[in-house]
Structures are given as structure tokens and as C-alpha cells.
Chains A and B, each alone.
Chain A
Amino acid sequence: MAKLHVSTTINGEPMEFLCEPNDTMLDALRGPLGLTGSKEGCASGDCGACSIMLDDRLVCSCLMLSAEAEGCEIRTIEGMAHGEKLHPLQQKFLEMAALQCGICTSGMLVASEALLKKNPQPSEEEVRFWLAGNLCRCTGYDKIVRAVLETAAEMRQARN
């Protein structure tokens, strides 16, 4: 069986790649596309380490076939910083030590950015429910939740 040819947009750049029909988007990102920021934790949609934005919607790239990316707009953790300038969430995660081993971090950041776009002023409860699909075995979540709330407050201030 011939490989499928997929044309898509990743972090604003038109991209093309070849895949098997049963490859996941995560396989394509970490394989032919060389974007290894998205991590594989569980490969069953439970851990959120492979979170990406698909047409502005937060999804697990392990639960999506790469062939489904045809004609779509995908954003990954690699598109979050502007060159050397980190996104405020990335900066705050560093400052507040909201990560330890780092496996969950890119998924946490992508998911948190999606939340703040939808809801610039989330409550702690809203942050915790939104991130319920992002598992972290190191931090105990508290520092992550605080970093997201702190970033949200600073981003609101910067806007005013």
C-alpha cells in the first residue's frame, strides 16, 4: 500500500509529509516532521502530553490520524515562543518551577494557552478542570495551576 501524501499547515508554515494510513498525528510530528516537542505519554488520550491545537481546538495528537491533518491548521509547542522570546506561560513556568521532568510540560503549556485564549480570567477550579486531561507525576499540579493563574493575571494587566 502506497503512503498517503498530506498537505497541512504547522505553526503557520505550509508542510507536506508522507504517512501510513494508521499513523497518528503524533507519529508524524515526532517522525518525518521532526517536531519532537509534543511527547508520547500514554498513547491513549489519557495524559495530554501530546496536546496540540487542530484548527484552534485543543486535541490529543495521539488520538488523531496524521491523514486527518490534510488541509488543517496545526499548532504545536514549537510555535509557542516568538524566536528567542518565550510566551508568558513558558516564562512563568520557568520562574515558578512549574515543571520537573518536563514530559508533561509542552502539553500543559499548549492546553493552558488554549484556556487563556478562551477564558482570560479563569478561577482556580476552572484551571484544574481544564487541565484534568494533562497528567503530571512530578509537581503535584499546584505549581502548574499557580503559574497559569499568575500568567493570566499578568497578561490581563499587560492588556490594560
Chain B
Amino acid sequence: MTDIRYLAPNTLDEAIGAFAAAGSTARILAGGTDLLVQMRSGAVKPGLIVDIKKISEMTTIEETADGTFRVGAAVPGAVLAEHPRFGKVWPGVLEAVNLIGSTQVQGRASAGGNLCNSSPAADSVPALIAAGAIVTIQGPDGRREMPVEKVPAGPGRTNLKPGEILVSFTLPPRPPGSGDAYLRMIPRTEMDIAVVGCGVSLTLKDGVCTAARVGLGAVAPTVLLVEAAAKALVGSKLGDAALNAAASACSAACRPIDDKRGTIAYRTKIAGVLLKRTAAIAAGRAGRN
């Protein structure tokens, strides 16, 4: 006998009404690749499960005339990969989303779930922070927006208020000469959790970096926006001095833990190494756009 309820509403208003009314034991079900594992292990015992995949705004990808992308919070990685344009405009965000789990997990897992699960090592989050993505959140008091980097509050905790649901990501239009990339350090080639993850998005004009953003994962309780690293890149031609300064800024931003995946010293060093490699890929892509 169980006292769990399952709802799959067709509208956001219904979902929020039920989610807010059910209180702290309610859980949102997007792809379920984290929630079902947590339920199985007994870590989470939901009183109400609200499946949001029947709400079209949650599962659609839109590109507007000005080049803005709006990606529903429950869009699975495999669906994002099949979009004819998204991966061309945001290859770094796509490669980060597609690194989450296996082919089977990609059939279900979403960037919204990855963000709300709030793991410091979430692969999609550094790339979304680098992209300058904004999330739309809806709750009992209406809609609001928040930069991605403001969503995680700590491991497993977000800054969403009770009853609020993450609806979508908005990625800004890309100026010409822009590129992004995501790299993670793992000890094997596939199916692992990042020891460090680094997302870089930048814009080049005549070889000079005119804009940059850097996201860094698995080196602090939340994924970080590293403004000092971006500052070191902007105005430079991405030469050794600028890259070394940006790498040092990444290492300086680290507040990691020692665990079985990596030590504090290792993570701190690798953060800088990954910044340089990721920036090089992003710059290569920017040069082709």
C-alpha cells in the first residue's frame, strides 16, 4: 500500500496548483533519471509526483526571428541533439547536455532536471552559465526570470521558492564570431561524473575577444560563474598571457572537496588546464562563425 499520488496535468497552471498545494513532499517529474533513482534508494519519498511532460511549453524548442532559443525545461538531451539548428548555434551547450548518462538516459534526461537536481558536477550547468542562459520560473505568485548561475543553492538545493517550477531556458542571440565549448575531466572515456567541468562561451572580432563567460563545475558546492576568468580573456587575442591569467582565475575560484574522484589540489590545477583547452575549442568555433 502506498500513499503516493501521480498527476500528469496538461497545463502549467494545473501543475503549479497541485505542486504548491501538496507542500514539501511533492516532486516534479521531468525525465525521471534522478528522481526514480532517489525514490528507489529511499532518499526521496514523494507524496505527489507531478509529471510535467504533457505541458507543451516544457517540451518544446523554439528559435525566434532574432536568434533567441527557448528550450523547455523537460526537453530530453536526445531531442535537443536532433534539433536542426540548436547544435550549430550552441555546440558547447549541446555537448554538455549530451554528456549526461548513456544513450538510454539521453532519451529522458533534461537540462531542467540536471539544473534542479543541483549537483555541483552537473554537466549541462557550466555550459548554460557560460551561454548566459536565463531560466523562466513559474509559481503561485506568477512568473520570474533568473540567470542559471543563481538557481543552485548547494548540493541538492535550489533557490526556487515552494511551489515554483522551472519552465524553460532562454539563450540569447549570438553575435557573429561567437563560439562555445564544454569539457569535463573524467578518468574514463564515457559514463562518468565530472571531476572538473568547464564551459566557455566567447565572441571574437578581428581576432580579439570582445565578450566571454566561463562556468566551472565540480569545484565548489555549486557550479560557478567565474567572472575574473572572463575578464582576463576579454580584450586579448587569447595569447598565452591571457590564457594563463584566466586559468589562474579559475584555479583561484575553486573551493572543492577531496573525494574518491579527485583531491582538492588536483581539481584546483585541472580547473586551469580545462579553461585553456575549452577556450581554445570555443575560439576555433568562433572563428568559423
Contact = CB atoms under 8 A, between A and B. Distances in A.
B122 to A, nearest CB: 16
Most buried by A among B36, B37, B39, B107: B107
A1 B36 contact: no
Contacts of A132: 102-103, 190-191
Q: For chain A, what secondary structure do more than half of its interface residues adopt (helix, strand, loop), or is it mixed?
A: mixed
Interface string B8-40: 100000000000000000000101110011011
Nearest to B190: A132
B107 to A, nearest CB: 4
Contact of B78 (A24, A57, A115): A57
A67 B8 contact: yes
Interface string A105-123: 0000001001100000000
What is the size category of the interface that chain A forms with chain B?
A: 20 to 34
B66 interface: no
Contacts of A44: 37, 40-41
A21 B103 contact: no
Contacts of B6: 4, 21-22, 65, 67
B2 interface: yes
A130 B33 CA distance: 18
A138 to B, nearest CB: 19
B264 interface: no
Contacts of B101: 45, 133
B64 interface: no
A70 interface: yes
Most buried by A among B2, B3, B6: B6
A145 B191 CA distance: 18
B103 A65 contact: no
A99 to B, nearest CB: 19
B230 to A, nearest CB: 32
B104 A1 contact: no
B104 A59 contact: yes
Nearest to B48: A21
A1 B8 contact: no
A1 B5 contact: yes
Nearest to B105: A45
A16 to B, nearest CB: 17
A64 B108 contact: yes
Contacts of B149: none
Given A57-B107, A132-B102, 18 more contacts: A21-B49, A22-B6, A22-B39, A45-B36, A45-B101, A45-B102, A46-B102, A46-B191, A58-B103, A59-B108, A63-B108, A65-B51, A67-B8, A68-B8, A68-B32, A132-B190, A132-B191, A133-B105
The 3 closest A-B pairs by CB, nearest first: A133-B102, A21-B6, A59-B107
10 contacts: A1-B4, A21-B5, A24-B36, A48-B104, A57-B78, A58-B107, A59-B107, A63-B105, A132-B191, A133-B105
